[in-house]
Chain A
Amino acid sequence: MIFLDTSAQGERVFGRRRDEIYALISRQQARTSQYVWEEFRCTYLRDAVLFHRLLSEEGWDVARALERADTYPTPPRSQARIRQVFRRLIQSWAASVDDLRGALENLIEGGLEDRFWSGLDREATLRETDCRHGGPPPRREGPTYRFRPTCTAAKPPPCGIRPFWETHAVELAAVADGAEHLPDDLAKAAETAAAIRTGRGTPHGNNCHKHLSDCVIAAEASPDDHIFTTNLKHFRPICALIGRKLYEPAS
């Protein structure tokens, strides 16, 4: 079965490989996981909500909203996503302010969710982590929306990440011991895995959705799954370490 990670889902919703991915999952059964869905909500959906708020506060002046996005206390990837994904969408849509507002609101109020699940075997969704990172869906508050991811190390929502790593202790150990096989920007993943393994670190909060997120996704996939990701830089070494297969297009 094809297993779509978050980058593949982003590509399927917005990216230029959309047709390729839709064609693939029309031929082969495909699934994703609760964890990937929550990560998607905490990236694309959250950034759509943030951009909607900035636009609303700036009188729907796109240039000013983008300027503010660059100085907003968000991770660089969020800024890049707002700048490069949503700005480009706007350039495509932007016949008017009404178009822009309507399109963003349609996406926030279910459009992203429907595109995320479209064509997937929902019964086969992997739910082992029982991730609740994103919390409740965006709620309309006046002209904007409120959407705040809820998982922190100090106060995590009730989820299954601790038993998940107990079940996948072999994979956790492989990551913890495999620092020399991982790229530099995954050094923190190995360090975090080691800390969780020895009980020195919590599996929640940033340790989960920042440092080990790719490892969680790879580990939750079945060894028979073919993981479809555009983030080969991270997934190739992780999958090699823990014994998972990547989807590689024939060409």
Chain B
Amino acid sequence: MGVSKEETALAAEPGDEEFGRCVDAVLELIDSGHPLIFAAAQGGFRFEMDESALRQAAERHGVTADRLRVALQDEIPDLSWFPTLKGPATFRELIERADLNAGHLRAAQGEATSRETIVARLSEEFAALADADDPYDRLDALAGFRVAVGSAVTRARARGLRNLGKALMMVRDAVAHLRAEELEAGHLTALEGVLGRLASRDPASDDLREIDRQLLSAGLNWVPVVDIPEDDES
């Protein structure tokens, strides 16, 4: 699924002209087929692009390059989290893989996206994951779930649902490196439990800890590994 100009027009709310111009600039980058390099690092991703292309697109649409970068990284959901795409790609591939549409863009602008709809959409993706028996289906379903949970983090934050964002962040990072063949019943049970908890009420701090424990005990650890300094002899 791509993004049409018509959809974009729906997305741009009156009074948020600058964001609308950013969206236009993004569409231009999409149409140009401009290559991107994705660095799918542990627990996160970054994309790098030709700075001059970014600046030119920004200039043509009357926004600063920094403003456009913020829109790309933080404001347009699904672009801010895309751990499964590796290697060179284009904006169009990114948009299509992220299933981005006008609805997402509206959500980015703060239009009503409730806690219930955020978790409900995630639960749908989870159901597809839990139902997938065939290895290839499972691979696809896991990729879909990852994208959905990344998007859910962005939406929760855009809505100011801070605890929900933090809880979903744990889920997002915990599944970021899980491979389809490693997916076990215990993982699914833990994820289902977490989603059920999130759907039921706004988690307080204690619940965040409980969610972390639930994930950890199922072997879903969201803390990435690093090289401990050699001189660390605590």
Contacts and interface: CB of A to CB of B under 8 A. Distances in A.
A81 interface: yes
B180 to A, nearest CB: 18
Nearest to B169: A102
Interface string A179-219: 00000000000000000000000000000000000100000
A10 B212 CA distance: 18
Interface stretch (A110-118, A146-154, A157-165): A110-118
A133 to B, nearest CB: 13
B213 to A, nearest CB: 5
Contacts of A233: 233
A92 interface: yes
B232 A77 contact: yes
A16 B223 CA distance: 12
A231 B170 CA distance: 31
Interface in B57-85: 73-74, 80-81
Interface size class of A (residues with CB under 8 A): 35 or more
A126 interface: no
Contacts of A13: 223
Contact of B217 (A39, A96, A118): A118
B216 interface: yes
Contacts of B117: none
A77 to B, nearest CB: 6
A70 interface: no
B16 interface: no
A40 interface: yes
Contacts of B165: 98, 102
Interface in B220-234: 221-229, 231-234
B166 interface: yes
A84 B212 CA distance: 24
Nearest to B208: A106
A251 interface: no
A84 B228 contact: yes
Nearest to A14: B226
Interface in B71-110: 73-74, 80-81
Contacts of A43: 234
Contacts of B231: 77, 80
Interface of A: 6-7, 10-11, 13-16, 18, 39-40, 43-44, 77, 80-81, 84-85, 88-89, 91-96, 98-99, 102-103, 105-107, 109-111, 114-115, 118, 214, 230-231, 233-234
10 contacts: A7-B233, A14-B225, A18-B221, A81-B232, A92-B43, A93-B44, A95-B81, A110-B212, A111-B223, A114-B213
